[in-house]
Amino acid sequence: MSPLPTLLLWWLLLLTVEPASASLIRIPLRRVHTGHRTLNPLRGWGKPAATPALGAPSPGDKPTFIPLSNYMNVSLSPRESSPSPPLKKSNPSFTLSPFDPQVQYYGQIGLGTPPQNFSVVFDTGSSNLWVPSIRCHFFSLPCWLHHRFNPKASSSFQPNGTKFAIQYGTGRLAGILSEDKLTIGGIMNASVIFGEALWESSLVFTLARFDGVLGLAFPVLAVGGVRPPLDVLVDQGLLDKPVFSFYLNRDPEAADGGELVLGGYDPAHYIPPLTFVPVTIPAYWQIHMGRMKVGTGLTLCAQGCAAILDTGTSLITGPTEEIQALNKAIGGISLLVGVYLIQCETIPRLPPVSFLLGGVWFNLTAQDYVIQSVRGGFRLCLSGFQALDMPSPAGPLWILGDVFLRTYVAVFDRGNLTSGARVGLARSRFGET
């Protein structure tokens, strides 16, 4: 064979290879075992073993570890998609479960030079990065119980001073915008504008194990028109493309909490094929859901409905009437507003709950959607479905939170000039032999 056809063959072969594994930034997620300490914010958390320091470059193809923990039933989103006052968004559903089912995932980043470390929720339901500030109000209790950013300790700090505010259902967050270097995984020196929280009024923030939030949704949701961190990484050439994926480990006893991959996805995380579903409104990661089924006896979302994939929400939420019917069908016993108890011994007999997305059925077994927790030798089983009524124009909609995303790997692809945003879903390889 002549050299020219051989070179042409190799060139064509390279064009057909899936670039999913090229230039990936791997952020293994680790879980901190909080045990009975979860509701005591004055207690320190354990240190994961063998965690490289933030700011250390990724050694070749070896991953850089970011500790991840899962804590409480919390919802960071959705926020209002209707026009709102400048520098202010609202969130109707930031909630803390009194039973603390420990299903919230979070990890560590660095801000400043040298990096000051913070634990943050990687939230696909919001678009801002914020952490508590050392300049916070004296009476802001959550601020004093968490790591705080000190601008005087950073040689790369740039003041901004623009005020921002986020109104949550159970409290308010307010502060000022600032600029400094972001360190995440092996990526360093990304100049980002972030929020320094000066006032956090919520009990949720006081009890939370995380310090702040790193939003991974679309720019339209960003408070103050701030460029979201993902966009900044791409703009500054630190990330090849605006694609990322979550693999969440659903084993509460495992030290490995999963992995956040920036720049693409890892086929080793899921069972092929990936089903891609187009994003219908590029604000949240919102898609169309054809319908839902509970076993063979109950159909929900019968005419189709909107759903968002949200790593900042622990449970699966939906309209009150349909959630009540769903919990009744799985034997849920209402304890408090929005909390349903499941009799643990019935789990093997409970029906699957199925979601029609992109023409494919995605099934959750009771082992997937029942949250099991052991406290003082007592086993507690709670429903992973909770009511949340979103008013028009944002709602009604369903939120597929971590209860769904622990079972299915999600690939979040912002798209490009020739193709729109989409979400890819496939069964996680967790537990497969």
For each successive 10 residues of the chain (433 residues), what is the average pLDDT? 46 40 67 33 25 35 33 44 35 39 72 95 92 92 92 98 79 91 92 96 79 94 94 94 92 74 93 97 96 95 96 92 97 87 97 98 97 85 93 88 95 91 94 46
In a domain, residue 335? The reply is: yes
**Residue 312 belongs to a domain:** yes
pTM of the model: 0.81
> Is the backbone peptide bond immediately before 393 cis, with ω within 30 degrees of 0?
yes
- Encode burial over 145-169: b for 16+ CB neighbours within 10 A, e otherwise: bbbbbebeebeebeebebebbbbbe
The strand pairing partners of 28, in sequence order, are 259
Catalytic pick among 211, 310, 402, 413: 310
Place of tokens 């939420």: 317
Q: Classify the phi-psi angles of 311: left when phi > 0, otherwise alpha if psi is within -120 to 50, otherwise beta.
A: alpha
- Which of 123, 180, 211, 402 is an active site residue? 123
Tokens representing 263 are: 């720049």
Match 């009604």 to its residue by tokens. Answer: 396
pLDDT digits 0-9 by tens, 236-255: 999 999 999 999 987 766 65
Which tokens hold the place of 94?
Answer: 């930031």
For the chain, how many structural domains are there in total? Answer: 1
CATH number at residue 332: 2.40.70.10
Is 339 within a domain?
A: yes
Q: Which residues, at least 6 apart from 36, have a Cβ–Cβ distance to it below 8 Å? A: 375, 376
The Cα–Cα gap between 70 and 252 comes to 9
Q: Is residue 378, in this structure, part of any structural domain at all?
A: yes
Residue 136 forms part of a structural domain: no
- What pLDDT digit, counting tens, does each position of 378-427 carry? 899 999 999 999 888 878 899 999 999 999 999 999 998 788 999 999 99
Among candidates 19, 32, 124, which has minimal Cα distance to 401? Answer: 124
Active site residue 310: yes
Domain with 380, as residue range(s), is: 267-432
Residue 14 covered by a domain: no
**Would you give the DSSP letter of residue 341?**
E
